[in-house]
């Protein structure tokens, strides 16, 4: 049944082969709606659980009563222990928002199917994006975002925990996206899937295909909105927060006006123009007047967010006043959101992200560039 529905939802696209396989299953490979990428439908109608170690940690007698009201909106992350204790609560949803740089040659959809946190939905960072620009994973319209997350089964009443396969990376981008569209009940899983697995908690495969069907439906909904077609039902209402997202023109004006501290999350070598940009046709250097704090400096060795005192020290070292408004940027608007996440922990909940970031700025022949 799931295979029949899935085939229809993929609009009859033909089966293709893949070199990716599971050691004990014979998978079926389908072309997904996610921009030509492939995913696997494992030939097994039951979700398969995998132990991440020879033992499983149990939270006995410490289960907290779940309520999104009990979680602080000032704290942007939750621990794996907290999520494990509250995983099955009906008014909370977990999103796998894994995304990787092209040169990493990792497929987030395939990795999701092999192992994800039980019950997690897949959020396609490249798919739930503006379809009218060549810039990567730009923020979609309000209508498109509402249609996509509604297709995933998300409602405004839901509390959301977002994670990724690296620790804290692309999950921060999706945390920011929901906040841009007015949803405050969203948190990043501190340490992500790696921390979950090293803590001994179970993962599962996507054998039923239900989550993949929802992810495909979300991708279809985005396409329909941009094609002017009707979608529905809509279960998620947006409330756009324009102060959280900046355009190229705002960044350009800030060079003169200096109303905001501009922090760049790229590596120091890229910021200084000493290392080439990974994308062709992009100038090297940085926006005049901006400062550099590579996003990795906000994380510890286990890829969890640094505590408040250490975070504050990082910004103090670069001469950044937390009393001033801040805008962040990076290469494509992903790791800039990690800076926003760290600043949120320090009490700055109004940090803007330059969505187009250096890919837009560096490709424009008319934008000024500094290098060190």
Spatial separation of the C-alpha atoms in residues 325 and 140, rounded to whole Å = 25
Instruction: Confirm if 31 and 182 have CB atoms less than 8 A apart.
Output: no
Provide the 8-state DSSP code for 360. Answer: H
Residue with tokens 């909940």: 349
Spatial separation of the C-alpha atoms in residues 322 and 79, rounded to whole Å = 26
Active-site pick, 58, 292, 330, 337: 330
Phi, psi of 148, deg, nearest 5? -70, -50
Phi, psi of 293, deg, nearest 5? -130, 95
Q: Which of 39, 50, 40, 192 is nearest to 124 (CA)?
A: 39
* 52 phi-psi bin (left φ>0, alpha ψ -120 to 50, beta other): alpha
Neighbour tally for 347: CB within 10 Å: 10
Quote the distance between the C-alpha of residue 132 and its chain's center: 20
For residue 328, the cross-strand partners are 263, 353
Spatial separation of the C-alpha atoms in residues 173 and 73, rounded to whole Å = 17
Which two tokens mark 282?
């992009």
Provide the 8-state DSSP code for 122. Answer: E
Residue with tokens 């740089």: 101
Is residue 2 packed enough to be buried (19+ CB in 10 Å), middle (13-18) or exposed (0-12)?
Answer: middle
Q: How many CA atoms lie within 13 A of 234 on its CB side?
A: 13
The yes-or-no answer on residue 58 being catalytic is: no
Residue with tokens 């004990």: 24
Is residue 268 packed enough to be buried (19+ CB in 10 Å), middle (13-18) or exposed (0-12)?
Answer: middle
Catalytically active residues are 330
């Amino acid at each position: 049944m799931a295979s029949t529905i899935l085939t229809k939802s993929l609009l009859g696209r033909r089966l293709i082969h893949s070199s990716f396989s599971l050691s004990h299953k014979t998978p079926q490979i389908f072309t997904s709606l996610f921009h030509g990428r492939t995913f696997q439908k494992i030939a097994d109608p039951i979700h398969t659980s995998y132990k991440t170690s020879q033992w499983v940690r149990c939270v006995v007698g410490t289960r907290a009563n779940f309520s999104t009201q009990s979680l602080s909106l000032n704290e942007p992350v939750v621990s794996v222990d907290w999520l494990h204790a509250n995983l099955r609560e009906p008014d909370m949803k977990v999103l796998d928002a894994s995304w990787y740089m092209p040169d990493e040659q990792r497929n987030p959809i395939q990795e999701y199917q092999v192992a994800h946190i039980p019950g997690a939905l897949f959020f396609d960072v490249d798919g739930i994006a503006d379809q009218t620009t060549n810039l990567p994973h730009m923020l979609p319209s309000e209508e498109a975002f509402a249609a996509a997350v509604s297709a995933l089964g998300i409602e405004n009443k839901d509390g959301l925990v977002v994670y990724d396969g690296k620790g804290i990376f692309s999950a921060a981008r999706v945390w920011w996206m929901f906040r841009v569209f007015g949803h405050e009940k969203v948190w990043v899983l501190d340490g992500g899937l790696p921390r979950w697995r090293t803590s001994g908690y179970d993962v599962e495969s996507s054998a039923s295909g239900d989550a993949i069907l929802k992810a495909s439906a979300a991708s279809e909904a985005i396409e329909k909105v941009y094609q002017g077609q009707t979608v529905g039902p809509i279960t998620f209402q947006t409330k756009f927060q324009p102060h959280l997202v900046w355009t190229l023109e705002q960044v350009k004006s800030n060079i003169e006006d200096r109303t905001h501290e501009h922090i760049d999350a790229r590596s120091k070598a890229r910021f200084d123009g000493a290392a080439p940009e990974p994308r062709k046709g992009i100038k090297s250097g940085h926006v005049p007047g901006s400062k550099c704090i590579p996003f990795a400096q906000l994380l510890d060795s286990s890829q969890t967010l640094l505590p408040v005192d250490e975070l504050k020290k990082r910004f103090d070292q670069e001469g950044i006043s937390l009393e001033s408004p801040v805008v962040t940027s990076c290469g494509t608007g992903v790791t800039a959101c990690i800076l926003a996440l760290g600043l949120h922990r320090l009490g700055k909940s109004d940090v803007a992200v330059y969505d187009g970031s250096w890919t837009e700025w560096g490709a424009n022949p008319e934008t000024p560039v500094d290098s060190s």
